Structures are given as C-alpha cells and as structure tokens.
Structure 1
Amino acid sequence: MPRKRSTGDGALYYLADRKLWRGVVDAGYTLEGKRKQFYVTSRKQKDCRDKLEQLKEDIAKYGTPVNRKVTVAQWAETWLAQNQREVDPGTHATNAATMRRWILPTIGNRRLSSITPQTIKDIRAAMFEAGRKPATVNRATAVMSKFFSDAIDEKLLEDNPVQRIKRATITAESKRDALTLEDSLAILRTASQYSPDLASRFWFKLLTGQRQGEILGASLADLILRTSENEISLYTVAWKLEELSWKHGCAEPCGNRFGRSCPHRELSIPDAFEYRYLEGRYYLTRPKSQTGRAVPLIAPLDAHLRAHLKRSEGTVNPHGLIWHNEDGSPIDAKQDAAEWRQLLVDAGIITEEENKPGGTKLTGHVARHTVVTLLSALGVDAQLIGEIVGHSSVDVTALYRHANMAEKARAMNLLGEALQLEV
C-alpha cells in the first residue's frame, strides 16, 4: 500500500520492482471527469520528496507542472515557428537571426530552467566584445525577454531571467550617427540640384524621419497637399514596401530545397497579415507602428513634392506610388541606398572610397536619427517625436497624451527654421 503523507498533500511511496521512489499529486479533474495526477521519481527517498515539494509548488502557482527538461534549442524550434505566424516578416527575420547567431550556439543545449540572469549578461558581454552597438545588444535582449516570457506562458519556465537585466544606456558616442545641422543643410542643398523625383524623395527622408520601406511604399492616395495658407500638408503612413519570402506548403516533401520552388508554396507571413501584391517580389505591408500615423509636411518640402508630382504627371504608375522607376516599378532598397550614398559624396559628407555597400555608417537610416536628434535638441517632447517618426515603443509614446496635428506641425516648422529652410 502507498504510504500517504497527508490529505490533499500528495503521496510518496516505493516501487520495489523498479527500485524507485515515486511521488504523486492530484490536481483536479479533466473535462471528461478523469482525475489529473502528476508524478516524480528518484532512486533516493529524499530526492523524490524534494521533487514532490517542487511539483506541488508548480501546481499551486501554474495549475500544471513546469516542464524542466525542455532545452533552449527545443523551445526555440517551437517558438520561432510560432513567432513567424504572429509578427511582421522583418521582425521575425531579426528574431530568428538573433536566436541563431547568439543564443543557440552558446546555450542551445542547456535546459530552459537552468538559464540565469548571469547567463544573459554573458551573452550581452559577448555581443559587446564582438563590436555590436548598444542598440543592437538591447534589441537582442528584447528578443530573449520575449522568448523566455513566452516559455513561462507554456509552463516551461517559472520566471524570466532577462527581467532583472538593465538595458545598456546608449551613450553620447553612439549618437555620432546623427548628422549635424551643417551636414543636413548641405545634403538638402545638394539634393535640390537633382531631378525633382530624387530631390523630393531625399527631402522627404531628411525632413520626416520615416523608415526606408515607408518612403519607398508611400502612396499618392495618402498624400494631402494643402490648398490654402491656413492648411497643413500631410502624409499618412499606411504602407511600407517589403520583399516577402516563400515557405514550403507541401504535405509531403516535394524534393525542392527552397520554399520558393515548391509547387504548393506559401508566403512566410503571420496569421491575418495584411498585404498588397505589387509585382515580382514586392508587396505593400502595414508599417511597424501600424497605420494612420499622420506626418505634417513643412512648406519647403511641400514645394519639392509639388514639383515632383507636376513633372511625373502622365508617367506610368500602376501602383499609385509617390516615387517609382520610369517603368512604374517600385524602387529597390539597394537602389535607394546607393543613391543616398552618392548624395553624401556630392554633398562632401563622405569620400568616393566610402561610396559602396557597408562603406559608411551614414546609411539612409541616419536621416531618421537626425530628425529625432534635432527635434529633441529643439525642445520637442519625446511623445511628439515618437508620433511623428513612428516609434512603436511604449516607453516613447504610450505613457503620454496624443498630440494634435497643430502641435506636430509646430514641431516640424521648428526643424525647418533650424535648418534655415525657405520655400
């Protein structure tokens, strides 16, 4: 007969035929009315009793026991597949790259339950030693936090080891990626000498702080240019240009190595993902900070946009994009990056030797940092900046009131005045 401990407190008994101690805890009943029981075993009575106590704690906390045997790699395989169905393809690609570059090679074989805050600190330290910037390390830390948080939801972990790790402060040195007022003005002046389509695209880049995909996917339907002096010209961010990849859709292996070659291929996108097909590999997808973000356009930028639209009247534009190639196709991200680097060369910001992929840190994204930095230096509050450039972080926006359009317009006019811009 099993040797009971106390009512409702589980039982501990010896299995003579297996030479094992077993602990058992009742945890209610299933929907079918069957009793739910969970077990632990050990060769030694004391070890089994300790496991039993831990099992009871898990049931009291989580309703079911925490699975302490699952490794980081095992959970990562499930988590990445889950993550692909839930988030934007670009975000998933970042998450997957972080897992495969930094997490799996170092702690993939370890059990989830063995990961401590010190483990996370060691991974962060390794990233810094490899020359990664604080922002990159913080982004990887956020991925790890989500990874472990989801493991808790699946009853694989008791607490999140990342939550006690402070994010690295981004130092003043890292802000060197923002352009100075002088360099910004030199770029705008140089861009003004280009054709109206290039001039307006680069003025838009430097005077709105939008992401590259949001600019290349900008739609004419979302642009409203003022009709009187009392109105504000606006662009509402609704889409971004993105290249989507394919995955296998075959029930049985089709023999093709890549998903794009599978006869039953499917887009690698999350559930209920909203997109519009353009052509080739190009799609319009919803922006990172979702839709409806209205960005005020200051008068000098308005003027460049009008010049571009007037010149492009009657051109081939099947997708209704503000900026496109002569044949109406979307502008490729690499093409946009190359044209930006050439602009920096022409403006005297970088050398011809730096005019190559990876040759300079001053990529097009620096325009975004510049808008944030300049607006901040001009005293514009963080919430306003967040709503203008589309920060998705709650730290930047959600804790503040929502700004009205007049406030945003005043902030952007401050930027125009600081750059000494005139129509």
Structure 2
Amino acid sequence: MTLEEWIPQYLAAYKLGTIKDNSYDTLLHLADHIPQELKDRDLTEILPMHLQQFYNSFARQYSKSYMDKLRVFVGSLFVTAIDNGFCSRNPAAHLKIPRMIEKPRESFTMEEVRLILAFASCYEYQRTGVGIMTLLLTGIRRGELLGLKETDITDTTLTVNRAVFLSGNHVRVEEHLAKTEHSLRTVPLVPELAYRLRTLPHKGEYLFSTKSGTVLHPRNFNRDYDKFFRQLRETEPDVRHLSPHCCRHTFATLTRESGADLRVVMELLGHTDIKTTARYSHANLTSMETAVQHLRSSILSPVGQFLH
C-alpha cells in the first residue's frame, strides 16, 4: 500500500468524527504538503532519510508550531500502519526536527491602539469598528467574535459560548463549542465597549451578522478589517496593518504590561496552558476586571476619553 492510499484510509478510520472539523481540515492541509514522490512510495519503501529530507524542506517555509503538527501527523500515520500490518517499522520514529527559530508574534503598540480605537469609535461601518474594538479590548479570537449573540453581553461582561469554524469553505457554529474547553469563558468589559456591543445594530441572533442576519464568514470579516486599516493608514500611516489575530497578542501584551499577573492574562485569553496553573488556583472575575480596567486606564490617561 502506498502512502497516498493509506492517508485517506487513516483519516477516515482514526480522525473523521473524532476531532473537530477545523482540526480535521488542518490534517488535510498537512497531507497536501507531503511531496507526491513520497506519496507514491509503498509504505514499506519509505526510509527515514526520505522523511528527514521532507522535514528539512518543510521547516524552511513554515512555523515551528506547524512543523510540530506535521511531525505528530506523520508519526501517527506510520504507527497505525504498523498496527494494521501495512509495514513493520516506523521511519519517522527517530527523525530530527530542524532547528527553527519561532518568529516573534507581532502586536500593536499602545500608541497604535489609541489611534485605532479613536478611528474605530467614529468609523462609518459600526460592525467593523466595534468588532475591532472588541478584539483589542477583550483578546477574544476572530471566531469567538463572530459567534457572539446578544445574550452573551451584559453591562460588565462578555461570555464566549461558541465560535465560528470553517469546515472546508463552509461556516459552522455550535453552542458550547470553541477552540478548546477552556475557551468557553467570561471576560470583563470596559463600560464604553459594553455599551457599544449592547447597542450595535444587527439583524438576527448574531451581533456581527450579515445584512440578512446569517453568520458572517471569517473571510468577509477579514475583508472589512483590511478595508478599515487601509482607510486608517491614509491619515495615520505609522499605524501598522497587522492581522486580526495580532489584536489578541496586543491585548495579552498590553494587559500584562499594565500590571496583570500572567495567570490572569491566560484566564482572560482562554489558553489551554492555564490548566497546569489551574491545579493550584484560579483567577477570579474580580482579578480579571482589575486587569482590564488597568488596560483601560493606560489607554485613556495620556489623551483623555475617546471611547465615546
């Protein structure tokens, strides 16, 4: 059996229906990266050097985290192939991961955040402006933003109860399902943002819906996000055009710099890594409210209020 023949059988038997759709799509994308000349080989003919050459090439183009996903995927392919009698050894067992330096994650500076929020507060397209403000002032993910409903917002908090996923090119959203179990969380809101979210015009149950009231496709949000920054940079060219996910990094960085304990920041972001710390103690909502209010004070203090 060739590697190309085994991959879809492996995915159907071991992964389909056992992992989230977006995780399954990631495996499909990883499989697409495997060179055809490697896929054409019989499982018994693939040598460690063949896979090592592939790893070395892959590492020059992609991030360390993506490399780690590939390593786990390829290793599992061969372990299960052995279990099923398609080969007798695992050529991926003792491979060396090329030395990779993870690129630093970019985030906006405090001055950039002030300019972005000022522009967003009077931006003609409220859905986009309020969406960007929410990303910067809560640290939630894009998919979590697009899954927000009116019932998730109070005068003081935002609760992540769901997230929008892409399955292929189709939008999927389910109640009480986000990236990880810890992603379902409650985040404090600064008063100005809480007001904007509660009064945001929308149709249907989702706050950031389309004009017809359906779930907004993540790519369409990205399109609106890019348009926002193109217009902003016409008057403020020094503000960088970073990705939506960089708003999350910005929230983490600036909240930490504003004096929040790292454990509190991890709770705010809903990181899975907090589970290790959570064995000892949990940050409560009061601690998280303090962290967000410190961030608000840092943003507002030098220039006066602009989150009208």
**Residue in 1 that maps onto 2:178:** 287
1:344 aligns with 2:233: no
* Shift in alpha-carbon separation, 1:139–1:192, aligned structure 2, 3 A: farther
Equivalent of 2:92 in 161, 174, 186: 161
* Shift in alpha-carbon separation, 1:244–1:124, aligned structure 2, 3 A: closer
**Residue in 1 that maps onto 2:294:** 414
1:126 positional shift: 0.5
Equivalent of 2:153 in 223, 226, 240: 223
The residue correspondences of 1:29-68 to structure 2 (distance < 5 A) are none
Query: TM-score scaled by structure 2?
Result: 0.77
Equivalent of 1:238 in 161, 179, 184: 161
Separation (CA, whole Å) in 2 of partners of 1:113 and 1:383: 48
1:87 positional shift: 1.4
Query: TM-score scaled by structure 1?
Result: 0.58
1:411 positional shift: 2.9
1:90 aligns with 2:22: yes
Amino acid at match of 1:309: R
1:137 positional shift: 2.7
Show CA shifts across 1:187-238 (max 9, x none).
111111125433321111112222222111112222232xxxxxxx222212
Equivalent of 2:8 in 74, 77, 88: 77
**Residue in 2 that maps onto 1:100:** 32
Higher strand share: 1
- 8 Å CA contact 2:3–2:38 kept in 1: the answer is no
**Residue in 2 that maps onto 1:316:** 203
Show CA shifts across 1:321-343 (max 9, x none).
12223332222222211221122
Separation (CA, whole Å) in 2 of partners of 1:128 and 1:175: 16
Quick check: 211-220 or 378-387, which moved more? 378-387
What is the aligned-residue identity percentage? 17
Show CA shifts across 1:92-135 (max 9, x none).
1111111121266435515369553x655433321233x32334
1:109 aligns with 2:41: yes
**Residue in 2 that maps onto 1:183:** 112
Larger radius of gyration: 1
Amino acid at match of 2:26: T
1:388 positional shift: 2.2
Separation (CA, whole Å) in 2 of partners of 1:403 and 1:326: 39
SS of match in other structure, 1:399: helix
* Shift in alpha-carbon separation, 1:114–1:365, aligned structure 2, 3 A: same
1:199 aligns with 2:199: no
* Shift in alpha-carbon separation, 1:244–1:192, aligned structure 2, 3 A: same
- 8 Å CA contact 2:160–2:183 kept in 1: the answer is yes
Separation (CA, whole Å) in 2 of partners of 1:89 and 1:103: 24
- 8 Å CA contact 1:293–1:388 kept in 2: the answer is no
SS of match in other structure, 2:295: helix
**Residue in 2 that maps onto 1:397:** 274
SS of match in other structure, 2:198: helix
- Please, which runs of 5 or more residues in structure 2 have no aligned partner? none
Higher helix share: 2
Separation (CA, whole Å) in 2 of partners of 1:115 and 1:377: 49
SS of match in other structure, 2:193: helix
* Shift in alpha-carbon separation, 1:409–1:334, aligned structure 2, 3 A: same
